[in-house]
Chain A
């Protein structure tokens, strides 16, 4: 438990990191450093996108798998690390 918190704290210390979310692929929120509304928004959308991206990768090559997903937007960069049933979402300020 504390290990999880430590990891999130460490990630949060990086420059420009706005927050981290650990969520299940089904959309369940496990751990978050963001406020509730943002967490809700991200958690309801990012796992879907990750599943789609994974689908794409697997369609192209069934032996392959999605490792990491970076979404660069004008304001933020959303980094998604999926593994198994969990997804780690980190939102970073793009200007950093």
Chain B
């Protein structure tokens, strides 16, 4: 209440002041401290001046406190003070400009008014009233302004008081409850009525204000949609594009969007495969179900029960019966580990006791070997491991390794000849041109660079190291020429510790330099990145050489062939180079010299070799060309040397043409007998003798020629253990021969799936053969293991194998010469002259030989490396597993037995041949007779019909006997069958004759037939007994 009163009082006060204020302007116009000029700008009042007072002046005059903000605008300053300032400061005084006006001011206390807002716009901050009128006007104006401000303040206070009063009232108003009131129509209804739409049916004619009840009832339209129609999938249909294009439904017109012109080079896309989830539940009882009888749980028994139990009779019985078993088991465990892993130990045993068990089994049944070669277990033992492979980018890449040969007397050095894989037509096209070929000599120590290469002007298809002097290499060229290298210079150079040595042929390369031969090495070494190249020493003259590619070359140690075609052992002093060459070839030479010292007739000189080519000739050459040269017309130039064969043997094939020879070998034990065997490109095998029969102009050297193979022979070699067993390989099969003249092989292999390309006897196991196929696999035939299939097939390369050679196989004839040596060691003179027969030396020689061969085999069983050259120019070296190199204890004998058995089989087949032929003949005869008899029966039936039956019986009997005879013929191999068959025949014939007694003619015929048959049977039986005896004898021999 008090507040309200106060507010009222204030309000009252405010109103009074307002009244006063409003009264004043009404009495006099509001005085302003300025005047407005014509243009509306403010100007100082007349009698006042606008000046600018500096801060210093203001402070001096005490005017600093004046400002429009503080509200104090006017100050009075004595006129003298201002004038004194003017007088004191002179022209720089702020009041100097109004000095005159001040002087003439009509009052003393001059008024100064602050003008800090610069209302006149002239940049000054003070006004000075120089007349009393102006000063009064200012005072009036300020008073008026102060009144206005006071009035404003009062008004604001009144407003605030009013607001406070309102606020004080408001809460009560809020609490007041408004009661509902009826709608008061203030005219809106009428307006709505006027603006409302009236149905036309009621509005025509009548007025809009017609009462609603009078209107006609509205017509209604209900649009309904089935519930299922909501949210139903859209049914869209295809509309022809042309139609759609122009229609209204095409809301978005197609337009070209440059964005889609861009080709997307990269697209990122992601898919997410969400695994289908499936929830399943099963209910299972906890724990593993067990049968009730096996549900046991450990349980402690109470003490007295336990005592009772242990003392019971049943328990004692249990212990009695059980303990012996347990003792037995414990004893077993103590004595032997019964549960040891025998299979695990098996491999070890096999590895250790190699061949022991297999040989015993072989000895037991003699016919086939169960274990060993192809047996079970020990797989590691059959794996050929590739030790190394050699290929050279310049010399052997993309070439064919046409021949492989191990360098004798040097360990781990192998030579291979590389030729172009050109076809016959390609070769014909380049015929006559020089196509430099190389023989690469690889050393195990350097698998990248060949140790040295032998260069040849023509491609070399076969080459052989001289077995006695390994410095000499002879090769056969594609054009038929023979070529000889001498590596002595290189050898001596290497042994001398540098490349200072010179080569006789190589010297020509460096002919330009004065140093001649000595420079040859340096030059080639520089060019070929330290691969020395050796040129050939001699080359046979083209006219006297073969006319086609040389198929094979073969050294003939210890013999000499002269121009008349005679063969004789080499004369000890005939070879001038003998001692030197022996000295040069250290190892073998030492052995040979030792043998020489012992006084035996060892072939310590080997200077002849033979060559064969498909032109039908076998040529014999002497490598002692120097000697020939000296003998001849003293031409010293190697290039002009005419190197001719000493002897030529012309061979004829089955058809009488030139024998297209490609492989040959000589009788190893009777080299001077001159016998040799040759194989041809046409699959023919030929035996002949190189010795020219005296007194014939056109002698026939061929003894026997036939074609056992369908394709060219790829190998023809004598077994290193059984010198009478010859292996011939051609097409898809190989054959073993024991004397080719019989034309029947001792053993013929089944046809392989791939053609054979090379073959070699194992140097340490007599029963082992290695055959290479054109598909790049090696077939290892262990003839003592199985003879119907290879016991091992090893895949080596992806292309055809072209040649194989064994590391420790003695060179082609060294084997045989050493065999000779051994034979002579055993105290028998073998091969002393052309006519000496080996059989004269007999058993002792052979026995010694066998012993030595066994020893040799054992020695060769150490480390064995098989060099395999393939059609891609790569030379692979395979290390043989122990099973393939270590011979069985008596393998030599077993193999001999195998060959003898096979020979006996062949002989048996051959011996049975006439019997079979006879049986076939008889079968044919009896068939004919039966037919005749039938005809006769038909003839006689016209005379006597009652004879017909008997005749038929007879003829049927004859037919039956025919059948029996044929059975007997086919079963001739089984003697019991045969005897039985013959007995049956006799019986049938007898029965036939009994039946035929009714007819005189039939009886006579039957009797005659029976007699004849019996005679034949007797003969057959006799022959069979003879054969049997023969066979037994052979078996006993074997």
A17 to B309 CA separation, bound complex (whole angstroms): 25
Beta-carbon contacts under 8 Å, B291-339 to A = 293-301, 306-307, 309-311, 314-319, 321-323, 325-327, 329-330, 333-334, 339
* B256 on interface, CB distance cutoff 8 Å: no
A62 to B301 CA separation, bound complex (whole angstroms): 33
* A14 on interface, CB distance cutoff 8 Å: yes
B298 touches A83 (CB 8 A): no
Chain B residues with Cβ below 8 Å from A52 are 294
Q: List the B residue with the shortest CB-CB distance to A95.
A: B337
* B290 on interface, CB distance cutoff 8 Å: yes
* A35 on interface, CB distance cutoff 8 Å: no
Chain A residues with Cβ below 8 Å from B297 are 27, 44
- With a 10 A CB-CB cut-off, give which of A23, A70, A86 has the most chain B CB atoms: A86
A27 to B307 CA separation, bound complex (whole angstroms): 17
Chain A residues with Cβ below 8 Å from B318 are 83-86, 88
Distance of B319 from chain A, by nearest CB (Å): 6
A27 to B290 CA separation, bound complex (whole angstroms): 15
Chain B binding surface, main DSSP class: helix
One of A29, A44, A68 near B329 (C-beta < 8 A): A68
Q: List the A residue with the shortest CB-CB distance to B321.
A: A83
A27 touches B314 (CB 8 A): no
Given contacts A26-B296, A44-B298, A48-B290, contact A88 B310 (CB under 8 A): no
B296 touches A92 (CB 8 A): no
Distance of B297 from chain A, by nearest CB (Å): 5
A48 touches B298 (CB 8 A): no
A1 touches B310 (CB 8 A): yes
Chain B residues with Cβ below 8 Å from A51 are 293-294, 296
Interface size class on chain B is 20 to 34
Distance of B773 from chain A, by nearest CB (Å): 48
A88 touches B319 (CB 8 A): yes
Chain B residues with Cβ below 8 Å from A41 are 298
Q: List the A residue with the shortest CB-CB distance to B326.
A: A81
A70 to B306 CA separation, bound complex (whole angstroms): 27
A88 touches B290 (CB 8 A): no
Beta-carbon contacts under 8 Å, A21-44 to B = 22-23, 25-31, 39-41, 43-44
Distance of B313 from chain A, by nearest CB (Å): 12
Given contacts A30-B301, A44-B296, A52-B294, contact A88 B323 (CB under 8 A): yes
* A63 on interface, CB distance cutoff 8 Å: no
A84 to B319 CA separation, bound complex (whole angstroms): 11
Beta-carbon contacts under 8 Å, A51-83 to B = 51-52, 67-68, 70, 72, 77, 79, 81-83
B296 touches A31 (CB 8 A): no
Given contacts A4-B319, A48-B290, contact A79 B329 (CB under 8 A): yes
One of B299, B316, B333, B334 near A27 (C-beta < 8 A): B299
Chain A residues with Cβ below 8 Å from B295 are 48
One of A4, A39, A96 near B333 (C-beta < 8 A): A96
One of B298, B323, B333 near A29 (C-beta < 8 A): B298
Beta-carbon contacts under 8 Å, B25-56 to A = none
Instruction: Please count how many residues in chain A sit with their CB below 8 Å of the partner chain's CB atoms.
Output: 43
B300 touches A29 (CB 8 A): yes
* A19 on interface, CB distance cutoff 8 Å: no
Distance of A40 from chain B, by nearest CB (Å): 4
Distance of A49 from chain B, by nearest CB (Å): 8
B296 touches A47 (CB 8 A): yes
- With a 10 A CB-CB cut-off, give which of B306, B309, B311 has the most chain A CB atoms: B309
A67 touches B325 (CB 8 A): yes
One of B294, B301, B315, B325 near A86 (C-beta < 8 A): B315
Chain B residues with Cβ below 8 Å from A7 are 319, 323
A17 to B307 CA separation, bound complex (whole angstroms): 25
Distance of B177 from chain A, by nearest CB (Å): 90
Beta-carbon contacts under 8 Å, B606-654 to A = none
A3 touches B296 (CB 8 A): no
Chain B residues with Cβ below 8 Å from A79 are 326, 329-330
Chain A residues with Cβ below 8 Å from B321 are 83
B333 touches A77 (CB 8 A): yes
Distance of A82 from chain B, by nearest CB (Å): 8
Given contacts A1-B310, A85-B314, A86-B315, contact A40 B298 (CB under 8 A): yes
A48 touches B294 (CB 8 A): yes
A84 touches B314 (CB 8 A): yes
One of A14, A29, A81 near B334 (C-beta < 8 A): A14
B301 touches A29 (CB 8 A): yes
Q: List the A residue with the shortest CB-CB distance to B305.
A: A28
Q: List the B residue with the shortest CB-CB distance to A68.
A: B325
Distance of B329 from chain A, by nearest CB (Å): 5
Q: List the B residue with the shortest CB-CB distance to A93.
A: B333
A48 touches B296 (CB 8 A): yes
A43 to B294 CA separation, bound complex (whole angstroms): 12
Chain B residues with Cβ below 8 Å from A72 are 339
A31 to B316 CA separation, bound complex (whole angstroms): 13
Given contacts A4-B315, A96-B333, contact A28 B323 (CB under 8 A): no
A23 to B301 CA separation, bound complex (whole angstroms): 11
Chain A residues with Cβ below 8 Å from B306 are 30
A84 to B290 CA separation, bound complex (whole angstroms): 21
Distance of B290 from chain A, by nearest CB (Å): 7
A85 to B312 CA separation, bound complex (whole angstroms): 13
Chain A residues with Cβ below 8 Å from B319 are 3-4, 7, 22, 88
A11 touches B301 (CB 8 A): no
Given contacts A11-B326, A14-B330, A68-B325, contact A1 B301 (CB under 8 A): no
A90 to B325 CA separation, bound complex (whole angstroms): 12
Distance of B667 from chain A, by nearest CB (Å): 65
Chain B residues with Cβ below 8 Å from A88 are 318-319, 322-323, 326
Chain B residues with Cβ below 8 Å from A22 are 319
Chain A residues with Cβ below 8 Å from B329 are 68, 70, 79
Distance of B316 from chain A, by nearest CB (Å): 7
A22 to B326 CA separation, bound complex (whole angstroms): 13
Q: List 24 A-B contacts (CB under 8 A).
A: A3-B319, A4-B319, A14-B334, A16-B333, A22-B319, A23-B298, A26-B296, A28-B300, A29-B301, A40-B298, A44-B296, A44-B297, A47-B296, A51-B296, A52-B294, A72-B339, A77-B333, A83-B322, A84-B318, A85-B314, A85-B318, A88-B323, A92-B330, A96-B334
B residues near A (Cβ < 8 Å) are 290, 293-301, 306-307, 309-311, 314-319, 321-323, 325-327, 329-330, 333-334, 339
A residues near B (Cβ < 8 Å) are 1, 3-4, 7, 11, 14-17, 22-23, 25-31, 39-41, 43-44, 47-48, 51-52, 67-68, 70, 72, 77, 79, 81-86, 88, 90, 92, 96
The 3 A-B residue pairs with the shortest CB-CB distance, nearest first, are A27-B296, A81-B322, A43-B298
